[in-house]
Structures are given as structure tokens and as C-alpha cells.
A and B are shown apart, each in its own frame.
Chain A
Amino acid sequence: MLAEELKNIAVHEREAKAAVGACVNVCGAAGCQSLQSDALAKALVEAAAAQGYGPESCVVRKVGCLGLCGAGPLVSVEPAGIIYQRVQPSDAPDIVNALQGPPVKRINLDSKLPFFARQQRIVLENSGRIDPERLEDYIAADGYLALTTVLSEMTPSDVIAEIEKSGLRGRGGAGYPTGLKWGTVAKAIGSPKMVVCNADEGDPGAFMDRAVLESDPHRVLEGMAIAAYAVGASEGYIYVRAEYPLAVARLKTAIRLAERQELLGNGICGTQFNFRIAIRLGAGAFVCGEETALMASIEGKRGTPRPRPPYPAESGLWGHPTLINNVETFANIAPIIRRGGAWFAGIGTERSKGTKVFALAGRITNTGLIEVPMGITLRDIVFEIGGGVPEGRHLKAVQTGGPSGGCIPESFLDTPVDYETLTKLGSIMGSGGMIVMDETSSMVDVARYFMEFCMTESCGKCIPCRAGTAQMYNLLGRFVDRTATRADLAQLEQLCDLVRNTSLCGLGQSAPNPVSSTLRYFRPEYEATFATEGGE
């Protein structure tokens, strides 16, 4: 498709949408779908027809994630800007009835709530606003504009310079500067080059990438295509969890539609640029999200990590130079190109730019998906956006970074969320899981839960991770059973040090984090479980 055609479609779509009286958007992402939002959409269509609305006066659309997953199924009405929560099919007639009047009170959710107002959406800008299965919807939201701009006006090094200027860092966990990674792959010798999207999201409680893929799949494809142009790649893979069937289905649809319009495939946008994307289903192991294990898995091998260097940028898939980025990283690319690296760099803190998507879970009033500017405090996230801890309980700690992260106690809630600060506090930014705990949570239990996760997810290749996580899990069991001694505590700390420093990959290297961070801030809780006073 050429830039001109793209523009025509966008204009046409926007006009068509403006002409419709009201648009009723039903969340069709996995969370709300599991609450039968399909039946709800059907009921809304029937109610609209029954009340005499035609396609010109009311359309019912299935859109992506609206964010407040804990209050699903969610429905939004445009252009009025109304949001309804916990909507049942039986509410459909009332919703349609209220299209021309005040909203239905009993299910109305104030869209001015801090939960919505305090967010800043870049990655999720289209989430809940467009139908993820329609390419035209994405195009109407300036979709593929960045790709056509890049192909017609920018050289690959211009693109890389723009990404570098933006200060974007990888959202997969480690926070590696994206522009630098692209530059390395661009310079690497060898062809063909590969672009891989890591959609293996395996942290317990995390569903940021799933929401992006289910709500706005073209955004990821566009980001990958721009990356491919920048690094000189012609083949791409999306490695997506098999446990995300809806995301896989929407990706497949999106790839098919984009290929049909020559936005992917051969001769993209009438240029010489070719880029094909294939989907690979995850092999069901957390460790397959580690980049070298992921590539082994794509190659059809057992998903176990290998030592780096060589880094994927030098020798990746089948030995070819490979760029591997996370879903959310790719989802940031198109807006950066459209609005400029300087715009993006204006958001966030000194060293952490842009926004971050978090999955809020645990003891918090508003559970769901949020996108906030870097540098926001944990307190704002938990108390403003998240609505605080329910049932009059007190916040004890916030866990970030999943099994590789740590627990940040209440006393550090005012620290800004950025890569460096979270690391300094003994946790990590991670991919975006955020679990809130109140005073009823036992920190020893939390540590053991994550250690069990690491133990069962260890691939078994290196001894410190394989045997060390098992030993630590057993030791933590003694604290849970109140049979531990001071010697056990010393051994636990020794094992933390060993496993961190000698494991082969990030799984083992970060597996001690939940233990060491809870030991750092909640040591008395461990000591209180000693079998005898003093633990001798």
C-alpha cells in the first residue's frame, strides 16, 4: 500500500466513524472474554436493533483491553465517553436506551477516576479504542504511517538515530537501550538478518504483552517492520506463548491482513523492502523467554539458554545476526517515529524514558492494566491509580519484577519508578508485574512461592540453578514450618550469593532476588520463625 492510499483509508474511516451516532465498544480481550463479553456484544447488537438503531446510528464493536480488568466485562460508549463496568447481557437494553440520555447509573464508572485520568497512554493508545481484527481501524488511528514515513523519507541510520534519541530501553526486563541494540545488529556482519519479537511473557501475574497483542496487534507488526528496515533484516518471528490463543489468533489475522495490503511481505509499500513475519508458539517453559533459549526453541531445539557472548546481535537464530525485543518495546516504535524521539525523551526521568505498562494485582482495589510515565511514584500507582488497599488494610510491600524481582516496603513508596531506582532497592523494573501485599501477607511465603516457581522452571542445565533453587526452596520450607535455625538463615544467604553469581542465565542469576529483598527489609519475619529463641 502506498502512503497516499493509506491516507485515503484513514480519512474514509474517520469520516465513516464520525457519521455514526454512537459507538458501543465491548472489551474483547481475554479477561473480559472469559466473563462472556461475547454474549454481551451479541445482546447489545440485538438491543440496538430492537430499539430501532441501524448501522448508521449505532455500531457495536469488539475492542481491546479497557484496562480495569477487575471490573469486567467493560463497555465504553463513544463519543459520549461513558464507561460501564460489570456489564451483563441483561444490561444491554438499558445501555442502548441511555444512548441519547444520561448514562445508566448502576453500572456507570466515572471516566474521570484517577485510574483513567492519571494514566498516560502510548503503548496502549489504541487499546480499547479500535477493533483489533480490522486493519482499517488501526490505519484510521495513524497506523502504518510511521512505516511509510520510514520507507519513503528515512535511511536505516536515521531510524536508529531517532530511536537512540528517544532513550527507549527494552521493556522485556533488563532495560537494555533499544537504539544501541539496533545499531549493533545493523553493523553485524552476515545475512539474512532476523528480527524476533519476544512474546513469551511468563512472569506469574503479568499480562501486559498479552493485552497489547490482543488489543492492537498491528502496532507490534509495524514496530517489527520498522526495526527490520533499520537493521537490514528480511525475516521475522514472533515467539508467543501457546497459552495465549486469542493473541495468537489476532496476530495471525493481523499478519494476513497486512500482507494482503503489502504492509508486510514482498515489496512493502511499493518499495524494494521485503519482510515476512512467522509465528512460533512457545514451548511452555518460563525459561523459553530468555533470549538464547527462545532462539533455540525457534530452531526446534530444547529451550535451554547458552552462554553469551556471542550475543544474538552477532550470532542469533541459526547463527545469523538477530535483533530480539519485547512486545512492548516494539509497540513504542511507531509513536516514536510519528512524534519524534525528542517527544518521547521528554517523558519520564533522566535515564528511563517514556511510559511503562504494569499489571496491577494482589491486594489492591483496582486490578488491571495501567500505563504510566516513568518516574511516577509507587505511592501514586498504588493509592491514586490503584485505589489503595481494600478492606481497610495496610500496605506492606509492593512486589515488582516477578520471580526475578523483589519486594519494596511501604517506607520506600515515594521513590520514583525507573530502572535504576528499582534496582537500587533490590528489585527490578522487570516486565511489568506489580503485586500489592498487605499486612496479612507473609514475606517468607512470598519468597518461597517465587523460589518454587524458579525451581520448577529451572531448565536444569546449570547446577547452581537446578540444585541451588531446590536447596533454597527446602530451606525456606523450614522457615514456613517454623523449624529453622540461625544456621539455616546463614546457609540461605550463602546460597543466594552462590546462585546469583554462578548461574548460567538470568533465571538463576535473579532467582535469589525475592529472598534477598525480603531478607533485606523483613529480616525479623525470618528470625521470628526460628524453632528456638535466637535460633541456636
Chain B
Amino acid sequence: MPARVVTLQIDGRDVTARDDQMLIEVARESDIRIPKLCYVSGLSSYGGCRMCLVEVEGTSKLLAACTTAVTEGMQVRTVTPRLTEYRRMILEMLFAERNHVCSVCVSNGHCDMQWLAQHLGIDHIRFPYVYPNLPVDASHDRFVLDQNRCILCTRCVRVCQEIEGAHTWDVMGRGAQSLVITDLAQPWGESESCTSCGKCVQVCPTGALSEKGRSVAEMSKRREFLPYLTMMRGETGNE
């Protein structure tokens, strides 16, 4: 079925969209930036971080803007006191979950999570820190994986599978014990499937994946390739 064109309202603004588009994308086109961590334009939606939850008229459920397709006449609110409070709490729990110490992080100043925390006005964490003892894998020639900074957004997993086609990355374990792994939990440097393309590093929202030789605050990420590659492949990623 060919996509239809629909009109809807986001934060009181009338916008038009194709009905196969996700809300987050449509909002972005109108320069309405819905907070997000796991979503990245050009990759399939995951729906894990819950940052992009929005309120939609007619349902009491909060809907993730990255996995909700627009419909005709939809009325969406992306910023409400309730949403802001939920986003803050979720983000605070994320900071407490692993060892996110910005001041000594390679991604300080270039981190999506840090940016979002500032944007939401978080100045302290109300939950006790868990301080897990997690490994760092520096076995790869050019890249480092620091599990302490990982927020399990699976951007690396998706870019590796969907764009590079290598599927080196995946997730193992369950709950808070989940870890991103290369191949079957082998050291990254020994991975046979990794092409060392570095796309995972570029899409990683935090300092979990970085290039070797970067010092504190030096790791800024380049993501321009993503929409370009997706366009060249002629897919939207959201099948």
C-alpha cells in the first residue's frame, strides 16, 4: 500500500507527514526535538530508552515516538511536566546504573547522555549509585570498549548489522547484567567478523566506544555517514 499523507498536531503546531513515518522523525522535520538516546536516524527503531515517550490525545498510555507511526488528526504533546519528570528519573537511574563520570570521560562535552541531562536540568542524582565492576576491552588496535559507560542502547549492534552487515555486536545476559559483546563474547581484537569500520564507535551516544589515543573530552563523534548510507541503500531502516 502506498503511504498516505496525513496532518497532525505536535505541541500545538500543525504538521504534515507520510503515514509510514514515525513521530520522532516527523517532529524533527519541524524542528521539534524529542529527547532520545537509543534512536538514531538511519537505523531501525529500538524503543528501549523511553526518553522519547510522548502523550497522545485519546490514550492514557505514553507512546514512544520512535516506534509510533503518525496518524491523521493525531494530537501529540512532547513536553509536559509529567514527561519531563519521567525523563529525568529514567536518566538519573541510568547515571546511577554504571560508572558515568563525565569529568574523566573521553566523550565529555560530546556525549548525548550528558547533553540530555543538562537539557533536562539534572543537577544531582537522587538514586544510590550501583558502582558495578565492569570490564574494559582494549584488545582492538584502534578502538576501546568501556562497559562502564555503556547504556545498552544497542546502536552499535544495529549499525553493525544493518549498515555494515557484519553483525559483530550483540547483547548477552539479562537485566542489569546485560553486556554488549563482540562475536561470542570474545575480545574485540580477536573478532573475526569485525571489519574495523568504526561505525559502532561513531554512533555510540556515550564514551562506551571510543577511538584509541583520545584523551578526556577528545572523542567527538561523526555521524554524517548514516543518513547518507541509508539513503544510498534505498531503505529507511524501519522496515
Could you list which residues of chain A lie within 8 angstroms of chain B, going by C-beta atoms? 285, 287, 302, 306-307, 455-464, 466-471, 474, 491, 494-495, 498, 501-504
Decide yes or no: A467 and B94 within 8 Å by CB, A455-B176, A456-B174, A459-B174 being known contacts: yes
Residues of B within 8 A of A463 (CB): 48-50, 90, 93-94, 151
Provide 25 A-B residue pairs closer than 8 Å at the C-beta atoms, listed in order of the A residue: A306-B67, A307-B47, A307-B64, A307-B67, A307-B68, A456-B174, A457-B175, A458-B175, A459-B174, A459-B178, A460-B152, A460-B171, A460-B174, A461-B46, A462-B47, A463-B48, A463-B49, A463-B50, A466-B176, A467-B94, A468-B93, A495-B89, A502-B50, A502-B53, A504-B48
**Binary CB contact string for chain B from 142 to 156 against chain A (1 if under 8 A, 0 otherwise):** 000000000110000
Q: Is the CB of A460 within 8 A of B90?
A: no
CB distance from A296 to the nearest CB of B (A): 13
CB distance from A423 to the nearest CB of B (A): 15
Residues of A within 8 A of B94 (CB): 463, 467
Q: Is the CB of A459 within 8 A of B175?
A: yes
Q: Is the CB of B174 within 8 A of A470?
A: no
Decide yes or no: A467 and B86 within 8 Å by CB, A455-B175, A460-B177, A462-B49 being known contacts: no
User: Does B62 count as interface, using CB distance less than 8 angstroms?
Assistant: yes
- A495 CA / B85 CA spacing, docked (Å): 11
Binds A, one of B2-10, B124-132, B201-209, B212-220: B124-132
Q: Which residue of A lies closest to B176 (CB)?
A: A470
CB distance from A482 to the nearest CB of B (A): 17
Q: Which residue of B lies closest to A467 (CB)?
A: B93
User: Which residues of B, 27-65, contact A by the 8 Å Cβ criterion?
Assistant: 46-50, 53, 62, 64
Q: Which of B53, B67, B152 contacts A466 (CB 8 A)?
A: B152
Residues of A within 8 A of B126 (CB): 491
- A459 CA / B47 CA spacing, docked (Å): 13
Residues of A within 8 A of B47 (CB): 306-307, 461-462, 504
Q: Which residue of B lies closest to A303 (CB)?
A: B174
Residues of A within 8 A of B90 (CB): 463-464, 467, 498, 502
User: Does B135 count as interface, using CB distance less than 8 angstroms?
Assistant: no
Interface centre among A285, A307, A491 (most CB of B within 10 A): A307
Q: By the criterion of a CB under 8 Å from any partner CB, how many residues of chain B are at the interface? A: 31
CB distance from A366 to the nearest CB of B (A): 36
Q: Which of A459, A467, A469 contacts B96 (CB 8 A)?
A: A467
User: Does B183 count as interface, using CB distance less than 8 angstroms?
Assistant: no
- A471 CA / B47 CA spacing, docked (Å): 21
User: Does B211 count as interface, using CB distance less than 8 angstroms?
Assistant: no
Q: Which residue of B lies closest to A306 (CB)?
A: B47
Residues of A within 8 A of B234 (CB): none
Q: From DSSP, what is the main secondary structure of chain A's interface residues? A: helix
- A471 CA / B97 CA spacing, docked (Å): 9
- A501 CA / B170 CA spacing, docked (Å): 28
Residues of A within 8 A of B81 (CB): none
Residues of B within 8 A of A502 (CB): 50, 53, 62, 86, 90
- A460 CA / B152 CA spacing, docked (Å): 8
User: Does B173 count as interface, using CB distance less than 8 angstroms?
Assistant: yes
- A465 CA / B164 CA spacing, docked (Å): 30
- A471 CA / B90 CA spacing, docked (Å): 11
Q: Which of B48, B62, B86, B130 contacts A470 (CB 8 A)?
A: B130
CB distance from A455 to the nearest CB of B (A): 6
CB distance from A504 to the nearest CB of B (A): 6
Residues of A within 8 A of B173 (CB): 460
Q: Which residue of A lies closest to B89 (CB)?
A: A498
CB distance from A306 to the nearest CB of B (A): 7
Residues of B within 8 A of A498 (CB): 86, 89-90
Residues of B within 8 A of A503 (CB): 50
- A460 CA / B38 CA spacing, docked (Å): 13
User: Which residues of B, 60-96, contact A by the 8 Å Cβ criterion?
Assistant: 62, 64, 67-68, 86, 89-90, 93-94, 96
Q: Which residue of A lies closest to B68 (CB)?
A: A307
- A466 CA / B175 CA spacing, docked (Å): 5
- A95 CA / B220 CA spacing, docked (Å): 81
- A460 CA / B176 CA spacing, docked (Å): 6
Q: Is the CB of A467 within 8 A of B174?
A: no
CB distance from B78 to the nearest CB of A (A): 15
CB distance from B154 to the nearest CB of A (A): 8
Residues of A within 8 A of B48 (CB): 461-463, 504
Q: A459-B178, A467-B90 are in contact. List 5 more A-B contacts (CB 8 A).
A: A461-B48, A466-B97, A470-B176, A471-B128, A504-B50
Decide yes or no: A471 and B127 within 8 Å by CB, A494-B89, A504-B48 being known contacts: yes
CB distance from B185 to the nearest CB of A (A): 14
**Binary CB contact string for chain B from 92 to 113 against chain A (1 if under 8 A, 0 otherwise):** 0110110000000000000000
The 10 closest A-B pairs by CB, nearest first: A460-B178, A467-B93, A458-B175, A307-B67, A307-B47, A460-B175, A461-B48, A467-B97, A502-B50, A462-B48
Q: Is the CB of A464 within 8 A of B50?
A: yes
Interface centre among B86, B93, B177 (most CB of A within 10 A): B93
CB distance from B198 to the nearest CB of A (A): 25
Residues of B within 8 A of A501 (CB): 62, 86
Residues of B within 8 A of A457 (CB): 174-175
- A302 CA / B83 CA spacing, docked (Å): 30
- A463 CA / B86 CA spacing, docked (Å): 11
- A320 CA / B126 CA spacing, docked (Å): 45
CB distance from A145 to the nearest CB of B (A): 42
- A23 CA / B50 CA spacing, docked (Å): 60
Q: Is the CB of B86 within 8 A of A466?
A: no
Q: Which residue of A lies closest to B88 (CB)?
A: A498
**Binary CB contact string for chain B from 210 to 235 against chain A (1 if under 8 A, 0 otherwise):** 00000000000000000000000000
Decide yes or no: A471 and B96 within 8 Å by CB, A462-B48, A464-B50 being known contacts: yes
- A225 CA / B207 CA spacing, docked (Å): 53
Residues of B within 8 A of A468 (CB): 93
CB distance from B20 to the nearest CB of A (A): 12
- A457 CA / B177 CA spacing, docked (Å): 11
- A464 CA / B176 CA spacing, docked (Å): 11
Q: Which residue of A lies closest to B53 (CB)?
A: A502
- A466 CA / B152 CA spacing, docked (Å): 10
User: Which residues of B, 174-194, contact A by the 8 Å Cβ criterion?
Assistant: 174-178
Residues of B within 8 A of A469 (CB): 175
Residues of A within 8 A of B170 (CB): 302
- A458 CA / B177 CA spacing, docked (Å): 10
- A387 CA / B48 CA spacing, docked (Å): 46
CB distance from A337 to the nearest CB of B (A): 35
Q: Which residue of A lies closest to B87 (CB)?
A: A502
